[in-house]
Amino acid sequence: MSIDYSKIGLKVGLEIHQQLDTSEKLFCSCTPQLFKDEPEITFLRRLRPTQSELGQIDPAAFFEFQKGIRILYEANKETVCLVEMDEEPPHDLNMEAVETSLVVALMLDGNPVDEIHVMRKTVIDGSNTTGFQRTCVIALKGDVKVDGKRVPIQHVSLEEDAARKIDEKGSVIRYRIDRLGIPLIEIATAPVLYSPKEAEKAALAIGRILRATGRVKRGLGTIRQDLNVSIPDGALVEIKGVQELELVSKAIELEVQRQLNLLKIRDELKKREVTAKSIKEKYEDVTSIFEKTKCRVVQKAISDGKQVLAVLLPKFAGLLKTELMPGVRLGTEMANRAHFWGRVGGIFHTDELPAYGITDGEVRELRELVKAESEDAVVFVADNLENATDALRAVVERARETLLGVPEETRGANPDGTTRYMRPRPGAARMYPETDVPPIRINEEYVHKLRDHLPELPKRKMKRLMKEYKLNEKLASQVLNSEYALLFEEVASESAVSPTTIAAVLTETMKALRRDGVELDKIRNEQIEELFSFVGAGKTAKEAIPDILTWLSKHERASVKAATESLGLTMLSEAEIAKIIIDLLQENAQLVKERGKAAFGMLMGLVMRKVRGRANAEMVNKVLRRKLEEFVRKS
C-alpha cells in the first residue's frame, strides 16, 4: 500500500539521543559502563509525585503512587556510587561531555548558550532514582540538510541517561542503575519532516555528524530515536526508544497506518451510532460462569480468591479484533491500558473467543449474564477487585476515546518497528532548576577555539573518501554511516590492505557479525588496527577476518596473534604450501595423468579448501602452477 504522506499531512519531529564516550559519568566519576553480573547492591524505593505550586499533581503519576508501586534498584560498585543512588548531591557537570555537545552543536551550526543551567525534569516511572532527569540546553537553533532541504534544529541538550528497566513483577519494578548518569546528547528537530523516508534521512544525517566527532559510544542501545508523529485528523503521538536507524521510517509508517485504522474504526462506530454515554461503567462479577473453566489463567485467579469482572462494549463486536498494525489490534490497545492502570496481566474479549481454553458455552453464558446482543463485545479480566475494576475502567475509557479517533499518548518502540502503549502524554514539561549544580559560563573564546577545530563535515568527508581512497559511492556512504567512520581512515592510511577491503570489513562484515550476535562492542579499536596490519603483512588471510573478530569479541583485550594461533589461522609458509600441494598431487595422481595441466582448476579448488584463511590465493596459484608442471613433466 503506497501512501501519499504529504496528502495526509504527516508531520514528524525527531529527538535523537546518543550516549557520549566520556571517561566518567555526567555528574560523578563512575565508569560509564553497564554490568551483566549479579548486582552487589540492591535497594527499594518509592517515588512520590511532588506537588506544584498550583497544587497540581500529575494524575497518572499519582495514580501509580497510590497503587503502591515500589522500585527495586540494582547496582554494582564499579558503575554506581552514592550519586546514582540519590544518596549524595551531584558533582560538577562533566566538562568533557559539555565540550563534545558543543562540538556537535557547532557542526549543526547552532548557537551555544552563554550560560548553561542544569534543570530537573520530573520523571517518576522509576527510571531516575531522584524522580527527575538532569538535563541542560547547550545550544539553540542550527540545522541539518536533508536532500537540500533545511531541517531546523530546536536545541542540542545534554542529559543523564536513565536506569535500565529489567522487569516488573506485581507492584515491584526492577531497574538497573548502571546506565543512569551516562552522558546523553539530545538533538531535537522541528516537526517539519513530511515523510517516513525524509525522517529517516534526517536521523541518518544527524547520526553522521555525531559519529564524525569520534566521541560517541557505539553499539546497540547507545543511540535512541524518539519520534513525534502527527497527522491532522489523528493526534500527536510520541514514540520512544527506536534503537535502530532502519526502524525510523518503518515505525512512522506503522504509526500512520495505526492512526488511519483508528479513524476508520471511529467512522464505523459513528455509523453504528455509538455514543460515549452508551458505553457504561458497569462492571459485573461473572466469576460463577468460570468456576469450572479450562482456561488456566482464569482458573488460577479464581483459586487465588480473585474475581472475574466483565464490561459490555455496545456495538463493538468485530472491532476489537481489527488490526491497527501488525500484531496490534484495538483489543491489544485496551489490554495495554488495562495493564497500565490495573496492573492486570491481560484482558479477554469476545472478538477472540472461544480460545485459550474458554469454551463457546462459557462465552454464551457470559453474553447472557451481561445482556450482550450479538453486535456487542464483552471484555473481562480476572484479578482482585481493585485491579480488575481499574483495568475495566481503563478499557471503558479507551473505548470512549475510540469514538474521538486517536488518543494522544506516549508509545514505546518494539524491536520490529511496531509500538505499544506506554503512558498518557505528560503535561507541559515540569522542569525546575537543579540548584545543586552551579551554572556554567561558556565564554566566546572557548567557542571560537572549538569552531576552528571542528571535525570534517560528513558531506565533505564523503567526497574525500571517494577521491582519496577510491571508494565507490555506496561504500563511502556506508563508511560514513558506520560506527567505524573514523577508524576507517586511521587503518586505511597505514595498512597495506586495500581501502575497499577495509571499508567492506568495517561496514558489511561488521553488520553481518552483529546480526549473528557477535558482541562487537567488546573489540577495541587497537585490536582492529592490529588485525589489518596482520592481514597487510601477510600474517593472516583476509578471509580469516570474520573468524578472528568473533574470537576477539569473546576474548577481551587478547592480541590478534593469540587469535590466529588459537584458531590455527597463522599463515602457511611457501614450503608448507608446497608440501600440501605435493601430497594432493600424489593423492590425485590418476586424475593429473589423465588431464595434465587442465587439472589445475580443480586442484586449485581442493588446495584452497584445505588452506582457507591460512594462505592467500596468489601464493597458492604460483606454487601449484610450478608443482603441477614439475609433476606432469616427471610422469
Quick one: 442 or 617, whose CB is closer to other proteins?
A: 442
Choose from Zn ion, other proteins, none: what does 81 bind? Cβ within 5-8 Å by kind. Zn ion
Stretch touching other proteins by CB under 8 A, among 79-87, 536-544, 558-566, 589-597: 79-87
Quick one: 124 or 312, whose CB is closer to other proteins?
A: 124
Binding track over 434-453 against other proteins, x by CB under 8 A: -x--xx-x------------
Residues that bind Zn ion (CB under 5 A): 28, 30, 81, 83-84
Beta carbons of 364 and 350 less than 8 angstroms apart: no
Quick one: 47 or 212, whose CB is closer to other proteins?
A: 47
Choose from other proteins, Zn ion, none: what does 356 bind? Cβ within 5-8 Å by kind. none
- Rounded-to-integer distance, Cα 190 and Cα 31, Å: 34
Choose from other proteins, Zn ion, none: what does 28 bind? Cβ within 5-8 Å by kind. Zn ion
Q: Is 123 left (phi over 0), alpha (psi -120 to 50) or beta?
A: beta
User: In angstroms, what CA-CA distances link 147 with 151, 198, 460, 490?
Assistant: 10, 9, 15, 29
Q: Does 157 bind other proteins (CB under 8 A)?
A: yes
Binding track over 396-435 against other proteins, x by CB under 8 A: --------------------------------xxxxxx-x
- Rounded-to-integer distance, Cα 370 and Cα 380, Å: 11
- Length of the chain in terms of residues written: 635
Binding track over 87-116 against other proteins, x by CB under 8 A: xxx---------------------x-xxxx
- Cβ atoms within 10 Å, residue 242: 26
CA angle 377, 383, 386 (to 5 degrees): 100
Quick one: 137 or 487, whose CB is closer to other proteins?
A: 137
Least CB distance to other proteins at residue 386 (A): 17
- Rounded-to-integer distance, Cα 153 and Cα 108, Å: 8
Written as one letter, the residue type at 231 is I
Residue 199, CB-side half-sphere exposure with 13 Å CA sphere = 32
Least CB distance to other proteins at residue 431 (A): 4
| C-alpha torsion sign, points 208, 209, 213, 215 | negative
Least CB distance to other proteins at residue 218 (A): 28
Binding track over 18-57 against other proteins, x by CB under 8 A: -------------------------xxxxxxxxxxxxx--
Residue (of 576, 559, 558) closest to 614 by Cα position: 576
Coil, helix or strand at residue 433: strand
Residue (of 508, 516, 500) closest to 482 by Cα position: 508
Choose from other proteins, Zn ion, none: what does 198 bind? Cβ within 5-8 Å by kind. none
Residue (of 96, 184, 91, 87) closest to 135 by Cα position: 184
Written as one letter, the residue type at 453 is H
Beta bridge partners of 544: none
Task: Kindly identify the residues of this chain, within the stretch 126-145, that bind other proteins according to CB under 8 A.
Answer: 129-132, 135-137, 140
Least CB distance to Zn ion at residue 241 (A): 24
- Cβ atoms within 10 Å, residue 525: 12
Choose from other proteins, Zn ion, none: what does 30 bind? Cβ within 5-8 Å by kind. Zn ion
Least CB distance to other proteins at residue 305 (A): 21
Cβ neighbours of residue 4 closer than 8 Å, sequence gap 6 or more: none
Least CB distance to Zn ion at residue 441 (A): 25
Quick one: 43 or 600, whose CB is closer to other proteins?
A: 43
Q: Contact positions toward other proteins, by CB under 8 A?
A: 43-55, 70, 82, 85-89, 111, 113-117, 119-122, 124, 129-132, 135-137, 140, 154-155, 157, 428-433, 435, 438-439, 441
